[in-house]
């Protein structure tokens, strides 16, 4: 135990050494390091160039479904976090990745590169493959994140050799400093669109010294690995010093996630026959056009246990093999029958839109038909999606308006525990846990 306490304070001293105060995001370009567009760098999953598509970051396990893993890895880093993406209608070129260490709130930390990296902070992407027999040509890039020295949040910044930023992607590295135990609670909310899924958890730290945990420990709770609606918990509900335990319980329904419904799905891995969710395929068009079976609101529909991948996607091509370079891009047409116009803007949501309100994912309403419709250019694959209503500019998109909400829904929750040791100016990720709620 004494050795572990000494290690904790040693890390704190290393973090504190040579650091300066945090620089606001909008001023990052003044310090260099990310090229000409650094002043516009966003510390989130973001695409800066319209040629970039199909971005995925995940923990590589060697399994067929590894792309469904979050971009979270233990500090031992026995397997890497992998970043993959396509660049459409482009020639193969030299791309670089730079890495930034971030605090719990995704502001840049003040660590020097040598304090969290073993190598010079400029990594060339060496795995680049040109697409084969696709109507839309592209180059598929794959990058394995290098080993890092410290736990915490990391931002991968992909750039052209000249410095133009193409995309940023988040990744997390955790150390096993504390143990996180979570459990399910009883249903909360009146039902219908408001049914919540309560999660309670404890942070046990028998061998890890936490100084002033009420102020220095922060927790983040995510549903299905999403950042767009993650809940930041600034302090524990109770601190049990004698037990070396932090307790997190929630008393208000609004503090918990809505269960929503199982995701809608469609499958375009084959363009020679109609699979899940597909009504018809127009092979004469270029790109190919895929019309999905029209959808209806599920707000008042009873829960059904449909299999899904919790809002994510798996690329593939059943006819020619590898989805990495054989998967073509197609137009996918969506229709949602509502009968009347909804009180706000309607969006397609899911990993297929990077969980953001993309302009191209906003549906248009046809008054004569009573239908919302839109289309997205997507790589062949199996996809999950929701429809969400954004009632006004200040409100977050609400999927329960069209999807309903149920306690029985299968969702994944993960918990990230951050701690800033005494004297340090960077947050460490000292614990991580996943909880599969109603796993099917």
CA distances to 282, 289, 317, 323 from 286, rounded to whole Å, are 9, 8, 17, 19
Residue 268: closest CA among 352, 379, 178, 398:
379
- Please answer whether residues 141 and 86 qualify as being in contact, where contact means their C-beta atoms are separated by less than 8 angstroms: yes
CA distances to 20, 33, 112, 388 from 38, rounded to whole Å, are 19, 8, 17, 32
Q: CB neighbours of 285 closer than 8 A, spacing ≥ 6?
A: 331
> Can you read off the two tokens belonging to residue 80?
């890497």
One of 2.60.40, 1.10.10, 2.70.50, 1.10.540 is the CATH number of 2-174, namely: 2.70.50
- Please answer whether residues 111 and 141 qualify as being in contact, where contact means their C-beta atoms are separated by less than 8 angstroms: no
Specify the pLDDT at position 398.
94
- Please answer whether residues 107 and 25 qualify as being in contact, where contact means their C-beta atoms are separated by less than 8 angstroms: yes
Place of tokens 């099917």: 440
- Structural domain spans, the chain: 2-174, 179-259+413-437, 264-403
Give the separation between CA 422 and CA 440, rounded to whole angstroms.
Answer: 43
Give the separation between CA 333 and CA 290, rounded to whole angstroms.
Answer: 6
- Please answer whether residues 345 and 393 qualify as being in contact, where contact means their C-beta atoms are separated by less than 8 angstroms: no
Give the separation between CA 142 and CA 134, rounded to whole angstroms.
Answer: 19
| Per-residue model confidence as pLDDT tens digits over 18-41 | 333 333 333 333 333 333 344 489
| Per-residue model confidence as pLDDT tens digits over 279-321 | 999 999 999 999 999 999 999 899 999 899 999 999 999 988 8
Peptide bond into 140 cis (omega under 30): no
Specify the pLDDT at position 1.
41
DSSP 8-state code for residue 75: T
Residue segments in the chain with a per-residue pLDDT below the cut of 70: 1-39, 187-192
- Please answer whether residues 349 and 355 qualify as being in contact, where contact means their C-beta atoms are separated by less than 8 angstroms: yes
Number of other CB atoms surrounding residue 140 within 10 Å: 23
Residue 225: closest CA among 413, 90, 27, 82:
413
Place of tokens 């409100």: 395
- Please answer whether residues 231 and 220 qualify as being in contact, where contact means their C-beta atoms are separated by less than 8 angstroms: yes
Specify the pLDDT at position 255.
87
Q: CB neighbours of 109 closer than 8 A, spacing ≥ 6?
A: 22, 100, 101, 102, 103, 152, 425, 426, 427
> Can you read off the two tokens belonging to residue 125?
């992407």
The reported pTM is 0.88
Residue 97: closest CA among 43, 26, 51, 146:
146
């Amino acid at each position: 135990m004494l050795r572990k306490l000494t290690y904790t304070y040693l890390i704190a001293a290393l973090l504190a050494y040579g650091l300066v105060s945090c620089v606001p995001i909008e001023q990052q370009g003044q310090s260099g390091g990310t090229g000409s567009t650094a002043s516009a760098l966003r510390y989130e999953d973001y695409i800066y160039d319209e040629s970039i598509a199909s971005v995925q970051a995940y923990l590589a396990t060697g399994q067929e479904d590894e792309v469904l893993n979050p971009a979270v890895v233990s500090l031992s880093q026995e397997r890497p976090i992998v970043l993959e993406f396509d660049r459409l209608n482009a020639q193969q070129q030299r791309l670089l990745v730079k890495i930034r260490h971030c605090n719990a709130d995704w502001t840049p930390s003040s660590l020097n590169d040598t304090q969290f990296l073993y190598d010079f902070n400029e990594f060339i992407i060496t795995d680049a493959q040109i697409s084969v027999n696709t109507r839309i040509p592209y180059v598929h890039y794959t990058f394995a994140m290098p080993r890092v020295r410290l736990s915490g949040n990391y931002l991968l910044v992909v750039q052209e050799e000249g410095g133009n930023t193409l995309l940023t992607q988040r990744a997390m590295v955790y150390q096993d400093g504390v143990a996180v135990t979570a459990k399910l609670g009883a249903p909360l909310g009146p039902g219908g669109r408001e049914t919540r899924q309560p999660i309670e958890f404890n942070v046990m730290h028998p061998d890890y010294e936490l100084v002033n945990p009420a102020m220095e420990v922060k927790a983040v709770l995510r549903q299905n690995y999403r950042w767009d609606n993650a809940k930041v918990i600034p302090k524990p509900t109770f601190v049990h010093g004698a037990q070396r335990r932090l307790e997190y319980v929630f008393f208000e329904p609004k503090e918990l996630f809505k269960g929503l419904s199982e995701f809608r799905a469609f499958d375009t891995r084959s363009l020679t026959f109609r699979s899940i969710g597909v009504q018809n395929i127009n092979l004469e068009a270029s790109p190919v056009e895929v019309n999905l079976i029209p959808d209806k609101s599920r707000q008042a529909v009873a829960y059904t246990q449909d299999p899904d991948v919790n809002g994510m996607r798996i690329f593939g091509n059943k006819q020619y093999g590898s989805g990495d370079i054989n998967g073509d891009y197609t137009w996918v047409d969506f229709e949602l029958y509502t009968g009347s116009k909804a009180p706000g803007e309607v969006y397609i949501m899911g990993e297929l839109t990077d969980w953001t309100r993309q302009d191209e994912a906003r549906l248009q309403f046809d008054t004569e038909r009573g239908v919302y419709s839109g289309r997205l250019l997507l790589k062949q694959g199996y996809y999950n999606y929701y429809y969400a209503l954004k009632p006004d500019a200040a409100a977050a998109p609400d999927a329960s308006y069209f999807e309903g909400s149920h306690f029985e829904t299968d969702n994944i929750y993960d918990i990230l525990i951050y701690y800033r040791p005494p004297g340090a100016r960077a947050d460490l990720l000292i614990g991580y846990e996943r909880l599969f709620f109603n796993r099917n």
